[in-house]
């Protein structure tokens, strides 16, 4: 299928680091899944829902949101999840969650 870009031994829907002959589910700054999914969604702008393929958003939402626990939220990586939620048609829910974000997440790594 057209989705089979990488060898069947690679079991993830996203790549953190891509070399000429290797893919890696990780980033230079950590291997938490929320890093790998979150970095794919930067920058988060109004055009993001046009940039990000809807089928990819559907596949990525669950593993990304399930990997996002306390550290993910405190570091600001949960903001991208709200963008995915809105793209999936849940704009009101995403906005409700966005209104509850603390200002400190906007000064952290994510």
How many Å apart are CA 3 and CA 6, to the nearest integer? 9
- In sequence order, the β-bridge partners of residue 24 are 17
HSE, CB side, 13 Å, CA atoms: give it for residue 4: 4
DSSP code of residue 110: -
Tens digits of residue pLDDT in 13-60: 899 999 998 999 999 999 999 999 999 999 999 899 899 999 999 999
Q: For the stretch 44-83, what's the b/e string if a residue is b when 16 or more beta carbons lie within 10 angstroms of its beta carbon?
A: eeeebeeebeeeebeebbebbbebbeeebbebbbbbbbbb
Each residue's pLDDT tens digit, 98-107: 999 988 888 8
Whether pTM > 0.75 for this model: the answer is yes
Model confidence band, residue 3 (pLDDT cutoffs 50, 70, 90): low
Residue 17 to residue 90: CA distance in whole angstroms? 30
Q: 108: which 2 tokens? A: 């952290």
């Amino acid at each position: 299928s057209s989705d089979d870009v990488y060898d069947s031994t690679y079991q993830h829907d996203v790549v953190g680091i891509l070399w000429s002959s290797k893919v890696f589910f990780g980033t230079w700054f950590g291997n938490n899944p929320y890093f790998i999914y979150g970095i794919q969604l930067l920058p988060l702008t109004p055009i993001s829902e046009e940039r990000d393929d809807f089928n990819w958003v559907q596949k990525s939402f669950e593993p990304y949101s399930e990997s996002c626990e306390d550290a993910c939220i405190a570091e600001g990586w949960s903001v991208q999840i709200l963008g995915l939620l809105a793209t999936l048609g849940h704009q009101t829910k995403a906005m409700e969650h966005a209104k509850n974000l603390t200002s400190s997440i906007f000064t952290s790594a994510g």
